[in-house]
């Protein structure tokens, strides 16, 4: 369903309506044709769905006091929507979202609503990849990765240089745990996900999302790209 922001007339729209997708980039708002991707039913996809289903079932297994705590405490975890406005999630939405983040980092889930945590930002990152040697390395700051924080690392397959709409191409390839120093060798994880480092001249995008392993909160994502060397 599309989200539409109204003033005296429609000022902005995001999401899907029938066969159209509304979005925005640096040039302003635009509409593109909705493309339905092939659903390959991969092991990774099945794992993601299983975690979401498990979290929803676990919510029903909480005590009444625990659910009440999530419902009343959700106001302390405002979420910024696609228009930049703050929204308050339901207790179940917050519980599911935070625990899904924790599971993605390999951390145990939580039953009681946590105290909000400050999640440190990534200040810089550089990705280098070489096709011939099949190498891929991520240099970053701050280093080491801060305490009680795990970084989720997402990457795209090799794509044509100049392409900028890659949001639907990202796949998680690994995590980088607290205390890890720069640089980090991501070649094995990338190859396990995509089969090989792309050929020279192709472009790869990478996204880093910091997650608090105490609360499951996510910090500001950091995106970079590189042209694969020979």
pLDDT at 55 over 70: yes
Question: pLDDT for 119-166, tens place per residue?
Answer: 999 999 999 999 999 999 999 999 999 999 999 999 999 999 988 889
Beta strands of the chain (E only): which ranges?
3-6, 10-17, 20-25, 28-33, 79-80, 86-87, 124-130, 135-141, 149-155, 171-176, 184-185, 203-212, 222-227
pLDDT of residue 8: 57
pLDDT band at 31 (very low <50, low <70, confident <90, very high): low
pLDDT at 99 over 90: yes
pLDDT at 184 over 70: yes
0.85 exceeded by the pTM? Answer: no
Other beta carbons within 10 angstroms of residue 103's beta carbon come to 19
User: To the nearest whole percent, how much of the chain has pLDDT over 90?
Assistant: 69
72-99: average pLDDT: 91
Higher per-residue confidence, 34 vs 174: 174
202-222: average pLDDT: 97
Domain boundaries, the chain: 43-104, 124-227
Q: Any idea which fold 124-227 has?
A: Immunoglobulin-like (2.60.40)
What are the tokens at 178?
A: 């607290």
pLDDT of residue 7: 62
């Amino acid at each position: 369903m599309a989200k539409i922001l109204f003033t005296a007339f429609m000022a902005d729209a995001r999401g899907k309506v029938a066969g159209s997708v509304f979005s925005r980039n640096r040039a302003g708002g635009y509409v593109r044709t909705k493309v339905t991707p092939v659903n390959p039913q991969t092991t990774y996809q099945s794992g993601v769905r299983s975690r979401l289903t498990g979290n929803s079932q676990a919510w029903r297994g909480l005590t009444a006091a625990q659910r009440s705590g999530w419902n009343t405490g959700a106001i302390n975890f405002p979420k910024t929507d696609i228009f930049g406005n703050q929204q308050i999630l339901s207790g179940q939405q917050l519980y599911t979202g935070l625990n899904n983040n924790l599971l993605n980092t390999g951390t145990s889930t939580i039953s009681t609503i946590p105290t909000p945590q400050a999640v440190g930002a990534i200040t810089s990152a550089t990705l280098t990849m070489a096709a011939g040697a099949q190498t891929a390395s991520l240099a970053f700051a701050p280093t080491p990765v801060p305490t009680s924080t795990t970084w989720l690392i997402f990457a795209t397959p090799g794509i044509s240089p100049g392409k900028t709409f890659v949001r639907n191409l990202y796949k998680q390839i690994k995590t980088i745990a607290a205390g890890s120093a720069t640089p980090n060798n991501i070649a094995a994880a990338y190859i396990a996900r995509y089969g090989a480092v792309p050929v020279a001249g192709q472009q790869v995008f990478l996204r880093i999302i910091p997650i608090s392993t105490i609360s499951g909160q996510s910090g500001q994502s950091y995106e970079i790209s590189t042209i694969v060397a020979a």
